[in-house]
Amino acid sequence: MTTFQTITILAVAGAAAVLALHFLVAGRRLCREAKAAPRRPLGRWQRLLYAVTILSLLVLVFTGFWPAVRGEPLRGWLLMIHNSAAPAFAIGLLVLAFLWAERRPAGAPGATASAAGFGRGQRLVFWAAALLAATLVLTMMFSMVQIFGTPGQELLFEIHRYSALAMVLVAMVHGYLVALGRGLG
């Protein structure tokens, strides 16, 4: 088993355990509070864009991590599917970043009850996802040109893999926060 395989399995399992523990300790209370708090629902187009972005992320996670966890290179149809889903994810997240960047936590200066969008945790996850997405896109774009040479391309690939793992962890936290915010506890 490679170092990346071990780190991936431990990180995902550890994040799932931490989220489950958090839910056991505080989840039901947070769900009750979320049901009582005012929310600004997403419009139809934002929901569609969000759904496409999440779906493309799931495709990228499956196609990118399935071979990696099995110790195989990404190639063939999985590589083509991965490369096809990447633009949808990148463009979707970019548009969502512009649409959601101004959402303020409830109680923050300039936020009203109807305009309140993200809590502090959700904003942290949002900006982490935006930075990681930029890293993911740029590492692959720069690895396609030969200005960095083979060692540089290998380094960019490693940065891409670990950034992708960090994105998976951020997506897990995002999903958990969305579930809590919807009062699914």
Average pLDDT score over residue span 34-63: 86
DSSP 8-state symbol, 41 = P
pLDDT digits (tens, 9 = 90+) for 53-97: 999 999 999 999 999 989 899 999 999 999 999 999 999 988 988
* Chain mean pLDDT for the chain: 85
In which band, very low, low, confident or very high, does the pLDDT at 114 lie, cut at 50, 70 and 90?
very low
Half-sphere exposure of 39 (CA within 13 A, CB side): 12
Residue 123 or 168, more confident: 168
- % of the chain at pLDDT higher than 90: 55
Give the three-state DSSP class for 104. strand
Residues 22 and 13: their CA atoms lie apart, in Å, by 14
CATH (domain of 154): 1.20.950.20
For 134, the token pair is 């930029």
> In which domain, by residue range, is 45 found?
3-181
The number of folded domains in the chain is: 1
Q: Which pLDDT does position 64 carry in this prediction? A: 95
Q: Which pLDDT does position 116 carry in this prediction? A: 41
Q: Which pLDDT does position 43 carry in this prediction? A: 82
φ/ψ region of 107 (left if φ > 0, alpha if ψ in -120 to 50, else beta) reads left
Q: Which pLDDT does position 3 carry in this prediction? A: 93
pLDDT digits (tens, 9 = 90+) for 127-154: 899 899 999 999 999 998 889 999 999 9
63 and 74 Cβ atoms separated by less than 8 Å: yes
Average pLDDT score over residue span 158-176: 95
